[in-house]
Chains A and B, each alone.
Chain A
C-alpha cells in the first residue's frame, strides 16, 4: 500500500523568495516519486521525478526535490519564486520499477505568489 500527504493545502510566498512545498509518503517498498504542476484549467505538467537514482532531483523551471528515506519525505523547493509559479502542485507516488502504474496523488498544494 502507498499513500502521500501534502502537508499544506495553501502556501503563500513573495516573489523572489524561496518556495518550499512539503510532501511525505508512505510505502511498503522504495517508490517512485513525482511532482506535477497544474495551472488553472490546464492538464498536469511533470516537474521532476525520483526513481532510485540520485536523491537530489533537479526539475524544470528551477525546481528541485530531495528524497529523504529516513524522513519519508520528498519536499519541493525553488530558490526564488516567480509570479508564473502560481499554480496547484501535486506530489505523486507510484510503485518502483519505473512503470508508473497505480499513481497515488496527494491532495495538492495551492501556491500563491505575492507581488
Chain B
C-alpha cells in the first residue's frame, strides 16, 4: 500500500518552455501533497504544500508564478515549471499524505522527476 507515482521520470526541454509533472497516489486518497526539489548530493528542499481543492502554500523564496501547483483531486497533483531556464534543472520529488488508513501520518514519496533544461 501507499504507492505514489510520478510522470514523467525524466524530461529534457528547451529554455523558455513549460513542463508539467504529475504526482499520483495510486492506492490511497491524498488530502495533502508536497513538492520537493533536490540538488545533486543534497537533501530535499520543500517547495510547496498543496491541499486538495485549495491553493498551494509556498515556502519562502519559491516563486509561485513560476512553479504552478494544482491539486484538483484526491489522487492527483501537478507541478508546472513555467518558462523553464537551465537553473531550474533539478530532481523534483513529490510526496503524498492520506487522511486515514493507508497513507495516514506519513509522507510517501514518488520516484522523482529529473528535469534538464537546455
A residues adjacent to B (C-beta < 8 A): 32, 34, 36, 41-46, 49, 51, 90, 98-101, 103, 105-108
State whether B112 touches A41 (Cβ < 8 A): yes
Q: Is the interface of B mostly helix, strand, loop or mixed?
A: strand
**Nearest-neighbor residue (CB-CB) of A105 within chain B:** B43
B residues adjacent to A (C-beta < 8 A): 4, 6, 32, 34, 42-44, 46, 49, 91, 93, 95, 97, 104-112, 114
State whether B105 touches A44 (Cβ < 8 A): no
In angstroms, how far is the closest chain B Cβ from the Cβ of A4? 10
Question: In the bound complex, what is the Cα–Cα distance between A36 and B108 (angstroms)?
Answer: 10
State whether B105 touches A98 (Cβ < 8 A): yes
State whether B93 touches A49 (Cβ < 8 A): no
Interface-central residue, A45, A51, A90, A105, by most chain B CB under 10 Å: A105
State whether B106 touches A100 (Cβ < 8 A): yes
**Nearest-neighbor residue (CB-CB) of B105 within chain A:** A98
**Nearest-neighbor residue (CB-CB) of B38 within chain A:** A38
Question: In the bound complex, what is the Cα–Cα distance between A42 and B75 (angstroms)?
Answer: 21
Cβ contacts under 8 Å, A44 to chain B: 44, 93, 95, 109
Question: In the bound complex, what is the Cα–Cα distance between A46 and B43 (angstroms)?
Answer: 15
